[in-house]
Amino acid sequence: MTQLHTVNGDGNRYAQCIAASKRIRWDIEDDVIRGRHFDFNKKFLPDGLSKVGELNFLSEAEKRFISQIQGRTYANMFGLVERFICAKVIEVSHAHFLGDQVALEALVRFSDEELKHQELFRRLEGLAGEQMPAGYQFLPQPNDVAHVVLGKSTWAVLGLTLHIELFTQVHYKESIEPDEDLSELWKDVFLFHWKEESQHAIMDELEWVREDNKLSMTERDQAVNELIDLVVAVDGILQAQAKQDAEYFVANCERVFSSEELNTIRKTMLKAYRWQYIVSGVQVPRFGKVLSSLITAEQGERIGTALASIM
């Protein structure tokens, strides 16, 4: 194990998170939505995330429709995970109640931002529902998922949370920002979201390491198993939603697909979701660096073996 953090440096980092949070603070209506609607002549999710490039038998309009379905699910997925992230951040802030007031303020702002993000993603679901064909369903329920996730140890939940909040940033900077062909409103949502998520990932890491310092070897070993359980649970959600979204796509295309094409659509949808919500996050160097600083080589191998079936 290598040491990545110092106590003094941490106080500074919480203060920097507060300063950045105050500087970039935005409002859902006045800054992000501004009375706009989605432009359905444009894509939502970029090709690198949606994997539509692997569906060469589809027309450009059909590929665009897939990116819009996946983009709607993408917004809903963030609304989903923010339910448990917000609850966990409020919980870990308890440790600072009568301690570091700078850390407490940073975490209060973090949870407040996640409440705002959930409201933003509910607004987006309403806007998408007004313009897209009926029949779309986002299957997982935020509170059901939160009950399962929050039943695991804090170490496992913070690990999953850091992973999510790092891939959010990578998706925006590497795929969404450079793409000129996305719906302006959809793109702006993830610009504003990214601005606040940058601070969240820093705090996830600080809190994860702080939690890690409290654990015995046995507790950490159990927590590693729970992190694996959580990734497997995420994959279960992805399998169900990929199937649902593939069915919605096919039901709203004005043509019949061969059974081979149907199979490819379903497989590609799941591949895209696994890439978006699991694989791309695991590959963020910062995530690997922090994780490996906390666990043993054997525990790392255990995680690698569990991920192999998904990747």
Enumerate binding residues for Fe ion (CB under 5 A): 117, 165, 197, 200
Distance from C-alpha of 212 to C-alpha of 294, rounded to nearest angstrom: 7
**Smallest gap, in angstroms, from Cβ of residue 156 to Fe ion?**
17
Which CB atom, from 83 or from 117, has the smaller least distance to Fe ion? 117
**Smallest gap, in angstroms, from Cβ of residue 81 to Fe ion?**
8
Which CB atom, from 120 or from 269, has the smaller least distance to Fe ion? 120
Which CB atom, from 43 or from 117, has the smaller least distance to Fe ion? 117
Distance from C-alpha of 172 to C-alpha of 179, rounded to nearest angstrom: 10
Where would I find the H helices in 132-258?
142-150, 154-170, 184-214, 217-251
Distance from C-alpha of 274 to C-alpha of 310, rounded to nearest angstrom: 7
> Residue 3: left (phi > 0), alpha (psi -120 to 50), or beta?
beta
Which CB atom, from 80 or from 269, has the smaller least distance to Fe ion? 80
Helix 259-274 with 217-251: angle, nearest 10 deg: 140
SS3 43: strand
Which CB atom, from 197 or from 226, has the smaller least distance to Fe ion? 197
Q: Write down the residue that tokens 């070897």 correspond to.
A: 217
Give φ, ψ of 157 to 5 degrees.
Answer: -65, -40
